Structure 1
């Protein structure tokens, strides 16, 4: 028996036929010809039943674009977090592909915000380093190095990064000729008093825009954590640190966590970032979400650049309902 358009689907036989045909086609991936032969009807009748099943709500088709193509999802997440903008990049097949995708998004976000005469502060991470390669042609502006060098095998460092910007016409740079972390607090204090470094760190307190990376305070999630001795790692955890930004630890509320490591860092402070009108914070992977939320709560992340995996976890944390 065939259920035609307008047929009475309260008839259990007709209703079951609509369900069976729809199931075979949409879930069983069977052709209309195969379904018609099995039920003793024509393929044209199968086609009409598939239309009727959708009209009656027996079949509901939902198109859900991936997060990096869904502007509404990013907007909902930004509203739920209380930030001005969220950029969601595609999650790649591996960590390197994801980092490249997020870096491209970060470069696009910075280009949109870069204006003549601004003071731009740039921290260092492998993602920020990749993004800098796509930031040629900045308008004339000041670029401030926010952290000392942290050499990582296979990557550059913040000094090399600042040289990329120095090569651009009209761009004036403010470097930090020092490591990010030194062996003792006295050495760090002495470096911070050096005139050129002191000028740069002072300049970090009057930025128009900052670009920073957020990493969870755990293995493989933060370059600083991976290079820190175990006593620094443990001291941070014991003091409530959940994440790190430019070598500065902070807790779930975004408040700075003071340990001996903090005294040995040569770089921007969280307090300086809080005073910055706009801070673009980047992170990827589900593990980065907690730290990004904390940075938002602490007032030093107003624009987020993340991947799809991080966006899903952020939505879970803040109850935005994105997926």
Structure 2
């Protein structure tokens, strides 16, 4: 049925209301089926880029002073896994190998690139960059991301069985646990961090962020990296709860040889700029459309 609906709409150019009438469905059902057909890869919409990804990558690196950048052809919504290949190239070029500590964040982009596959590096230690949430959503399962990433890289996983935020007393108790401390101590030894960049809460669906009321009130924030929020200039935007987080600090992320933000959405252009300016990110893996949106923000006369 999905294939039929997709073919009627995209090949025969039939309007959704006419498809609904022919198949005795509601237009809302037809719309959902078309969205599902795209997410499953039954339908692929390609927009040809006007510039080569490597040209955009060079300009992006120069404008933001990045240590690493990889740009793929523009990806379709829900197909962020296409960034796995350029991410793999960046990791291999950096020469991470036995003894390197690789930190993994959470979020949809991180989930997608890990699902698509990371390169075999051999002997690396893979560690979560923050504690977990009591949420069933797939993009919050950070220990599972670590397990998969370590398996793909041929490394050793270290898990963190602690909440990402709790009371001051519970935080202290968790950090006093030897198992938790062994993992958390690796944040001072990060060679690489792979993180997503969150959207501002006014345009981010609640189910995508599971944000607290304090976080949702951060109207000046353009994004976050593992719940460390910042404005367009990279300045810290504090929230009630940040000091109670069990997560790698801004400084620990900034000291990593390569701290890579993975994102593909022009909506995240401001967030990516802020993440780099904050010092938490020094490398970007993205697509051409997002890269061009970043360049347009940095050089408005170009737009």
Pairwise CA distance, 1:229: 3.2
SS at match of 1:199: helix
C-alpha contact 2:69 2:90 (8 A) present in aligned 1:
no
- Aligned pair 1:174/2:158, yes or no? yes
- Aligned pair 1:70/2:70, yes or no? no
Pairwise CA distance, 1:224: 8.5
**Aligned counterpart in structure 2 of residue 303 of structure 1, from 271, 283, 290:** 283
Pairwise CA distance, 1:155: 4.4
Partner of 1:163: 147
- Which deviates more, 272-281 or 225-234? 225-234
Alignment of 1:230-241 (within 5 A): 230-234=213-217, 236-237=218-219, 240-241=220-221
Count the aligned residue pairs.
253
C-alpha contact 2:104 2:194 (8 A) present in aligned 1:
yes
Q: Distance in 2 between matches of 1:283 and 1:169?
A: 21
Partner of 1:85: 68
- Aligned pair 1:274/2:274, yes or no? no
Bigger-Rg structure (1/2): 1
C-alpha contact 2:132 2:162 (8 A) present in aligned 1:
yes
Change (3 A) 1:67 1:143: farther
C-alpha contact 1:80 1:319 (8 A) present in aligned 2:
no
- Over the residues paired in the alignment, what is the CA RMSD in angstroms? 2.8
Partner of 2:271: 291
Partner of 2:183: 200
Q: Which runs of 5+ in 2 are unaligned?
A: 1-47
**Aligned counterpart in structure 1 of residue 137 of structure 2, from 142, 153, 158:** 153
SS at match of 1:124: coil
State the TM-score, normalizing by the size of structure 1.
0.69
C-alpha contact 2:193 2:260 (8 A) present in aligned 1:
yes
Spell out, residue by residue over 1:105-160, the C-alpha distance to the aligned partner (whole angstroms, 9 max, x if none).
Answer: 33432343332321111112222122224125221111121112243535461111
SS at match of 2:97: coil
Partner of 2:109: 127
Alignment of 1:227-266 (within 5 A): 227-234=210-217, 236-237=218-219, 240-266=220-246
SS at match of 2:143: helix
**Aligned counterpart in structure 2 of residue 100 of structure 1, from 81, 87, 90:** 81
State the TM-score, normalizing by the size of structure 2.
0.73
